[in-house]
């Protein structure tokens, strides 16, 4: 799930909620359908209105799905379109949608082959995102031309055989910094999470001690979105496929940044 403060009511939230449905066929392997709903949540993160995002049907008989949707602006989403260019194809795209929840424009983006870049900001038709973490690599994707470039690269982490995976990011206006949530995996198994901060020019400026959102053996945790309201950070975390919202003090997180 991806969250924004709702543009029409600052006490509400705008959410893009993804769903994956598996189906079994008699004459083929299992298939998965991906869909997204645009929802309004109240201040308790309860759904009070939800509408399915209408995906384009570009080929007769083709099934088009949308996964890992992330808000860039209230009417702009980035994510992965499945079946957009034909069966068994997946493209990272920027999608515009209207007030009837119909996708009206699609721009294919080249994200250097990485899975789910973590969006930092969108300005002047350029989407800035964290591409990878060992080394830290920040890319700019031009959503007008579909081109890309590396804008920052920095060798910081020593992953020692583990894999650092991006989760979500939010800009902290008070600190003039990006706060990111990263998770560390070992052999595909979740180990722990950590906070990290980036300067306005995308240089890594600090990281926290490792932590887990919920102490439960065998859990897989993935932070999918973060929003800031005043001094409070709300982090949307998928734990074993169930969604939870955790509340933190921004100041307390920043005081625990030790690098």
Q: What is the pLDDT of residues 190-248, one digit of tens each?
A: 999 999 999 999 999 999 999 999 887 678 899 999 999 999 999 999 998 889 999 99
Give the Cα separation of 167 and 242 in Å (integer). Answer: 16
The stretches of the chain forming alpha helices (DSSP H) are: 250-255
Which pLDDT value is given to residue 253?
A: 96
Give the Cα separation of 12 and 14 in Å (integer). Answer: 7
Give yes or no for a contact between 130 and 120, defined as CB atoms under 8 angstroms apart: yes
Give the Cα separation of 93 and 115 in Å (integer). Answer: 12
Find the mean pLDDT for residues 90-95: 88
Which pLDDT value is given to residue 247?
A: 97
Q: Which is it for the CA torsion 43, 46, 245, 173, positive or negative?
A: negative
The residue extents of the domains of the chain are 1-108, 116-259
Report, at the CATH architecture level, how domain 116-259 is classified. 5 Propeller (2.115)
The whole model's pTM is what? 0.89
pLDDT tens figures, 23-44: 555 555 445 567 899 999 999 9
Give the Cα separation of 104 and 183 in Å (integer). Answer: 34
Confidence category of residue 22, pLDDT binned at 50, 70, 90:
low
């Amino acid at each position: 799930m991806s969250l924004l403060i709702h543009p029409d009511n600052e006490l509400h939230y705008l959410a893009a909620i993804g769903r994956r449905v598996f189906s079994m066929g008699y004459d083929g392997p299992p298939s998965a359908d991906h869909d997204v709903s645009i929802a309004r949540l109240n201040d308790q993160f309860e759904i009070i209105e939800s509408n399915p995002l209408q995906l384009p049907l570009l080929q007769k008989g083709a099934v088009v799905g949308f996964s890992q949707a992330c808000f860039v602006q209230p009417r702009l989403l980035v994510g992965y379109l499945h079946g957009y260019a034909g069966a068994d194809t997946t493209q990272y795209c920027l999608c515009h949608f209207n007030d009837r929840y119909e996708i009206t424009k699609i721009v294919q983006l080249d994200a250097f082959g990485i899975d789910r870049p973590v969006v930092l900001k969108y300005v002047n038709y350029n989407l800035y995102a964290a591409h990878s973490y060992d080394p830290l690599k920040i890319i700019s994707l031009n959503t007008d031309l579909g081109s890309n470039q590396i804008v920052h690269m920095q060798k910081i982490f020593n992953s020692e055989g583990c894999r650092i995976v991006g989760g979500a990011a939010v800009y902290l206006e008070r600190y003039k910094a990006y706060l990111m949530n990263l998770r560390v995996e070992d052999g595909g198994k979740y180990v722990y999470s950590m906070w990290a901060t980036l300067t306005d020019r995308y240089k890594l400026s600090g990281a926290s001690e490792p932590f887990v959102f919920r102490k439960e053996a065998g859990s897989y945790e993935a932070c999918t979105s973060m929003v800031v309201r005043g001094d409070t950070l709300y982090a949307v975390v998928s734990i074993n496929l169930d969604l939870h919202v955790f509340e933190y003090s921004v100041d307390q997180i920043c005081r625990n940044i030790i690098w």
